[in-house]
Structure 1
Amino acid sequence: MTERRSIPLTRPLIGEAEAEASRRPIMSGWLTQGPEVAAFEQEFAAYTGAAHATAVSNCTTALHLALLVLGVGSGDEVITVSHSYVATANVVRYCNATPVFVDIDPATSNMDASQIEAAITPRTKAILCVHQMGLPCDLAAILAVAKAHGLPVVEDAACASGSEISWNGQWEKVGKAHGDIACFSFHPRKVITTGDGGMITTNNPDYDRQFRLLRQHGMSVNDRVRHSANQVIFEEHAVIGYNYRMTDVQAAIGREQLKRLPGIVEARRHLGSRYVQLLADLPGFTMPHEPEWARTNWQSFWVRLPEHLDQRTVMQGMLDRGVATRRGIMNAHREVPYQREGGYNLPESERAQDRNIILPLYPQMTDEEQDYVVAMLSEVCA
């Protein structure tokens, strides 16, 4: 009989290096919007290849600022997917605009680019695509439609730190940005973490200037400039801004996490490849498809259950055997704030939520632990 284990869904890779790094701002006394934030921004921009990076409090605030800077407002529409964490739809509502949902490609769980054209109306202001679970979406196809209609593209790259896309014959990091703006998350469930936090990347200097203004109450002079000045400066607040700042403690941790990122992605890709091999012999199961132009960081690994198996029953069976799982990614249109009379025609999004389960995957995971997960899945589904 197989020995019962306890395997979590995920586990951040964080340790003494991050603990020591957090001492720098703590001992310096400069705890927010200081030199650690500036350094983290520069290092993240260099890693992704973006011209600019702006650190914020989380990915939701990053997405909100992205849409605001693009001028999304009352009466506008933003084309996006329902099949994402609800924050993706919420930020559209924050701008008093309407999210217009298109369905996903079931092979990747990402936006089906072939459905965008039909969703465009005179009120469409932007396209908000998602690199779901770290797997890059079809940016080439999405950007082709966007360019034809003069629409900006925001990439919800919350899960995609370290993922890559083949672009003009070269592998480039998600977040370069290939669209107009890309937004990242550093929540503990993501590939790297600062406890919470986010980053906005762009190649547009005017967008970057506006992000920095709006994240700090619209204050005309940032903290570093004011504190280093040898003359008294009175700041102004000419626009309504937000308290969307990242702390220096978070940024110091993030700088160490960024050093770990290549190794984390390598470990995750190893585990993702093993899952594909180990699960190949289970009849009726479907796994995510990684297109030849994409390199995912495997932030999460999902598997689609055969039609005769009940999702909740399988998940409970796994939990009874010490293995944590999650159901497929949620759909915003099924939540109360987004329900409407007549419903939505999003069959693949709904099928992905109802038929997929997410399996444990974290960089410290051993082959033996992964073997146990697959063995228990096989046992439960037998």
Structure 2
Amino acid sequence: MTAVTRLNVMQPNLGEEEIAAVADVIESGWIAQGPRVAEFETRFAALVDTRNAVAVSNCTAALHLAMVVARVQPGDDVVVPSFSFVATANAPTYVGARPVFADVDPVTGNVTAETIENVLTPKTTAVIAVDQGGIPADIAGIRAVCEPRGITLVEDAACGAGSRLGNRPMGVSADIAVWSFHPRKLLTTGEGGMLTTNRQDWADRARKLREHGMSVSAAQRHQSVLAPAEQYLEVGFNYRMTDLQAAVGIVQLGRLAEMVTRRRVLAGMYQDALADVPGVRCVADPAGGRSNFQSFWIEVSAGHRNSREELLGELASAGISARRGIMAAHRHPAHAGRDHADLTVTERLTDSTLILPLFHQMTSDDLFRVVDVIRRS
């Protein structure tokens, strides 16, 4: 019997250049946050057309800092999608605010101006809009709801590097955007995150807060023979990125355009091959948007002969690692006790979607192996 070769749902696109970049950092003797982090920040800010980028240890840390620098207070309400990784809902709770769950668009899986407006309260001070799976959210429409009310718009662009809305990169139209470099994302540094904003005061404060609130950065102290005395200006955090990670990130930035192009080709192949399968709907670009297809998901409806769970089982039996679709945070114990509006679309998508394998090195043979299982199941 021939052994079944496992096909993973994703794998990072790393190679010899990243290895060499890390070796250079080790040889330099400075591996903590330093010149490579600064270079990565500068290059990333240019990529997303934003004045300031602040590198941190992960995207959740960036979300937390976004709440702090936007001065979200205990007792405030922050509108978030339940249809997102739980970190989106956790961030407001870190500062004592209440996450208020909004439903999502049935096609894109993103919150919209309408679903947000439906759940605004007099205590709403911020909204977190997610580019779910790399599908661009309608940030301009959401901003039109937030700005007149003085509500801070945070874009959770964890999955959004390389996605575009119109001719603009994601993140540029929000007050603050946050990004992830987890291995499941296109750009990876192993772990790591970024906060971007055009507000200099917010960026300056975030830089201090990521280093325990110190008045003098670790890099500045390292560059001085006689290190200046530091002060701790407020209670901060240890949310630093290392130069080892940033060196990988710098190389990854050079790969981004190629990775987006390849993923879009693969996504198009999935869409074409599954277009006539009853009960299967593929995720697609929204109007005016261009996704990086960080995740490629399908919705399995009653028209398909198998349920989502049965299809996952068929794929697993064929050695194909797919995943259940995006979680609904309001169903999990950490947030289950919270009051919320109607989340019919969120619950339907959570129960009926699954994420198919998609990664840069994936071959057409790999892809049609997945398609064949779906078509015959």
Question: Do the two structures share a fold, i.e. TM-score over 0.5?
Answer: yes
Deviations 1:60-79 (A, max 9, x none): 00000001101112101101
Name 1:172's counterpart in structure 2: 168
Q: After alignment, is 234-243 or 105-114 more displaced?
A: 105-114
Given that 1:333 and 1:344 are in contact with CA atoms closer than 8 Å, whether structure 2 keeps it comes out as no
Q: Which amino acid is the alignment partner of residue 57 of structure 2?
A: S
Query: 1: distance between equivalents of 2:346 and 2:45?
Result: 33
Name 2:228's counterpart in structure 1: 233
Given that 1:74 and 1:97 are in contact with CA atoms closer than 8 Å, whether structure 2 keeps it comes out as yes
Query: 2: distance between equivalents of 1:162 and 1:341?
Result: 34
Q: Report the CA distance between 1:344 and its aligned residue.
A: 4.9
The answer to whether 1:290 aligns with 2:317 is no
Q: After alignment, is 320-329 or 303-312 more displaced?
A: 303-312
The answer to whether 1:305 aligns with 2:303 is no
Deviations 1:98-129 (A, max 9, x none): 00011000100100321222311121110100
| CA separation of 1:239 and 1:271: change in aligned 2, threshold 3 A | same
Name 1:107's counterpart in structure 2: 107
The answer to whether 1:122 aligns with 2:122 is yes
Q: Report SS of the residue matched to 1:13.
A: coil
Query: What is the percent sequence identity of the aligned residues?
Result: 44
Q: Report the CA distance between 1:228 and its aligned residue.
A: 2.4
Equivalent runs, 1:76-95 vs 2, <5 Å: 76-95=76-95
Name 2:352's counterpart in structure 1: 355
| CA separation of 1:343 and 1:232: change in aligned 2, threshold 3 A | closer
Given that 1:128 and 1:154 are in contact with CA atoms closer than 8 Å, whether structure 2 keeps it comes out as yes
Given that 2:105 and 2:112 are in contact with CA atoms closer than 8 Å, whether structure 1 keeps it comes out as yes
Given that 2:119 and 2:341 are in contact with CA atoms closer than 8 Å, whether structure 1 keeps it comes out as no
Q: Report the CA distance between 1:227 and its aligned residue.
A: 2.4
Equivalent runs, 1:120-159 vs 2, <5 Å: 120-159=120-159
Q: Which amino acid is the alignment partner of residue 299 of structure 1?
A: Q
What is the root-mean-square deviation of aligned Cα atoms in Å? 1.5
Q: Report the CA distance between 1:4 and its aligned residue.
A: 4.9
Structure 1's unaligned 5+ residue stretches are none
Q: Report the CA distance between 1:281 and its aligned residue.
A: 1.4
Name 2:41's counterpart in structure 1: 41
Name 2:32's counterpart in structure 1: 32
Query: 2: distance between equivalents of 1:365 and 1:29?
Result: 37
Deviations 1:286-319 (A, max 9, x none): 1223123111000001111121532221101100
Q: Report SS of the residue matched to 2:287.
A: coil
Q: Which amino acid is the alignment partner of residue 172 of structure 1?
A: R
Q: After alignment, is 293-302 or 23-32 more displaced?
A: 23-32
Residue 272 (structure 1) aligned to one of 267, 271, 282: 267
Q: Report the CA distance between 1:341 and its aligned residue.
A: 7.2
Deviations 1:129-175 (A, max 9, x none): 00000011011110110112111100000011111111xxxx11112
The answer to whether 1:261 aligns with 2:256 is yes
Structure 2's unaligned 5+ residue stretches are none
Given that 1:153 and 1:180 are in contact with CA atoms closer than 8 Å, whether structure 2 keeps it comes out as yes
| CA separation of 1:342 and 1:173: change in aligned 2, threshold 3 A | closer
The answer to whether 1:20 aligns with 2:16 is no
Deviations 1:227-251 (A, max 9, x none): 2235541000020000000001000
| CA separation of 1:111 and 1:28: change in aligned 2, threshold 3 A | same
Q: Which amino acid is the alignment partner of residue 37 of structure 1?
A: V
Query: 1: distance between equivalents of 2:157 and 2:59?
Result: 9
Name 2:363's counterpart in structure 1: 366
Aligned length: 374
Q: Report the CA distance between 1:340 and its aligned residue.
A: 2.5
Query: 2: distance between equivalents of 1:6 and 1:18?
Result: 25
Q: Report the CA distance between 1:30 and its aligned residue.
A: 0.7
Query: 2: distance between equivalents of 1:123 and 1:294?
Result: 32
Q: Which amino acid is the alignment partner of residue 50 of structure 2?
A: A
Q: Report the CA distance between 1:192 and its aligned residue.
A: 1.2
The answer to whether 1:206 aligns with 2:198 is no
Given that 1:155 and 1:181 are in contact with CA atoms closer than 8 Å, whether structure 2 keeps it comes out as yes
Q: After alignment, is 352-361 or 281-290 more displaced?
A: 281-290
Query: 2: distance between equivalents of 1:29 and 1:232?
Result: 18
| CA separation of 1:87 and 1:265: change in aligned 2, threshold 3 A | same
Residue 314 (structure 1) aligned to one of 311, 314, 328: 311
